[in-house]
């Protein structure tokens, strides 16, 4: 297939009006200007970009990864793929040891089949004071035997683990996780600046949803936020959904650390793409009102109802300066940076790369989605 569009983004650069050629599920050529032969599909003024990658997502379409069932996984994956996410990591919230091991084992099959990039353990080794939408009774200190058991249950599928670095045994746990080839992240933490720095020195390279569920910045105790921002080894997640963060923070962080150290994530739960109502996030009941998910009976945010497409549109709309530059920045933060943070190849749209792409209208609504050369959502 040879297609043309008004704007082609490779992820690293903007080609302007251009073309992409796809064969056997891979990109075999692309360029700006006129295509080398008559195109099979002219997308007019559409924007073609690499498919979105979500490294932190719990559910969507009424399903949630903690359920572990094929129906729940299929519902979540299908919803997010229709909204432009061509690759995602299944995030799990804190649970009792037996339940968490079962969830990891079940999801490992979906990773092996290629439906998921991997598994993200967001807990159970989190700070009670910053637990957010995690069941407090499921929190515990890191235990080497449990870490090894969960990694074994995942059969190589566990891709990232978030933990609070101030907990007893956390630094040893980070080293153990990293030695196993898994990304260690700091999050849901009340750590001091020094404790966060120690975690980064031990091997942690991601800050889970920066600002949210962590000790805030104080002028005499900078805490984990500043520790993560000032260290070039760390990629920081941001949830730019209009609820978790003020847009100014996305602008400020990007200007401070640079485009390539920010990964935009949805942190979506089961209500993404669904109506308001009652849902669950792990062991907790969640109420969604006007699209905002909160732990039932509280003001605590319980993940988001966002999709990557909605987040991309918001991030571009809230950016300062040139729109094309903002679009390229957001695409890098949603397509390339998450893969790099996970230690995976991040080719974007390039010869030899998988043909995973999203077709957007000039207003950044999703018009089409392709994964491995097949249309998930046809643009015609």
CB 254 within 8 A of CB 325: no
**Complete edge-to-edge strand list for the sheet that includes strand 277-281:** 277-281, 284-289, 292-295
CA distances, 94 to each of 135, 187, 369 (Å): 7, 13, 32
* CB-facing half-sphere around the CA of 178: CA atoms within 13 A: 18
Are the beta carbons of 271 and 294 closer than 8 angstroms?
Answer: no
267 is catalytic: yes
Residue of 267, 356, 363, 365 marked active site: 267
The 3-class secondary structure across the chain, one letter per residue, is CEEEEEEEECCCCEEEEEEEEEECCEEEEEEECCCCCCCCEECCCCEEEECEEEEEECEECCEEHHHCCHHHHHHHHHHHHHCCEEEEEEEECCCCHHHHHHHHHHHHHHHHCCCCCEEEEECCCCCHHHCCCCCHHHCCCCCHHHHHHHHHHHCCCEEEEEECCCCCCHHHHHHHHHHCCCEEEECCECCCHHHHHHHHHHCCCEECCCCCCECCCCCCCCHHHHHHHHCCCCEEEECCCCCCCCHHHHHHHHHHHCHHHEEECCCECCCCCCCCEEEEECCEEEEEECCEEEECCCCCECCECCCHHHHHHHHHHHCCCCHHHHHHHHHHHHHHHHHHHCCCCCCCCCCCCECCEEEECCCCCEEEEEECCEEEECCC
Measured CA angle at 37 (ends 33, 43), to 5 deg:
60
Q: Which residues are catalytic?
A: 267
């Amino acid at each position: 297939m040879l297609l043309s569009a008004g704007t082609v983004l490779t992820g690293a650069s903007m080609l302007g009006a251009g073309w992409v050629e796809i064969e056997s599920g891979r990109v075999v050529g692309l360029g700006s200007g006129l295509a080398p032969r008559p195109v099979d599909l002219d997308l007019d003024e559409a924007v073609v970009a690499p498919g979105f990658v979500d490294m932190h997502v719990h559910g969507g379409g009424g399903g949630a990864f903690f359920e572990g069932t094929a129906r729940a996984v299929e519902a979540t994956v299908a919803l997010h793929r229709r909204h432009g996410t061509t690759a995602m990591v299944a995030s799990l919230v804190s649970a009792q040891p037996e339940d968490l091991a079962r969830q990891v084992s079940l999801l490992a099959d979906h990773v092996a089949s290629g439906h998921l990039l991997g598994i993200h353990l967001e807990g159970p080794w989190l700070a009670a004071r910053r637990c957010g939408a995690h069941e407090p009774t499921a929190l515990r200190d890191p235990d080497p035997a449990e870490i090894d058991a969960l990694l074994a249950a995942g059969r190589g599928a566990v891709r990232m683990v978030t933990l609070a670095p101030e907990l007893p045994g956390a630094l040893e746990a980070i080293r153990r996780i990293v030695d196993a080839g898994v990304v260690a992240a700091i999050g849901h933490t009340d750590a001091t600046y020094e404790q966060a720095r120690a975690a980064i020195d031990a091997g942690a390279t991601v800050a889970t949803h920066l600002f949210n569920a962590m000790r805030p910045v104080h002028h005499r105790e900078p805490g984990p936020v500043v520790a993560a921002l000032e260290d070039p080894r760390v990629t920081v997640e941001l949830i730019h959904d209009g609820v978790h963060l003020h847009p100014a923070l996305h602008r400020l962080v990007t200007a401070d650390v640079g485009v390539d150290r920010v990964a935009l994530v949805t942190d979506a739960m089961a209500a993404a793409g669904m109506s308001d109502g009652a849902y669950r996030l792990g062991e907790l009941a969640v109420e969604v009102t006007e699209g905002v998910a909160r732990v039932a009976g509280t003001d605590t945010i319980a993940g988001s109802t966002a999709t990557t497409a909605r987040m991309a549109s918001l991030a571009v709309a809230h950016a300062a300066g040139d729109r094309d530059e903002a679009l390229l920045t957001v695409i890098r933060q949603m397509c390339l940076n998450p893969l790099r943070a996970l230690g995976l190849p991040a080719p974007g749209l390039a010869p030899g790369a998988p043909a995973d792409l999203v077709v957007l209208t000039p207003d950044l609504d999703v018009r089409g989605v392709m994964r491995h050369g097949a249309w998930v959502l046809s643009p015609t």
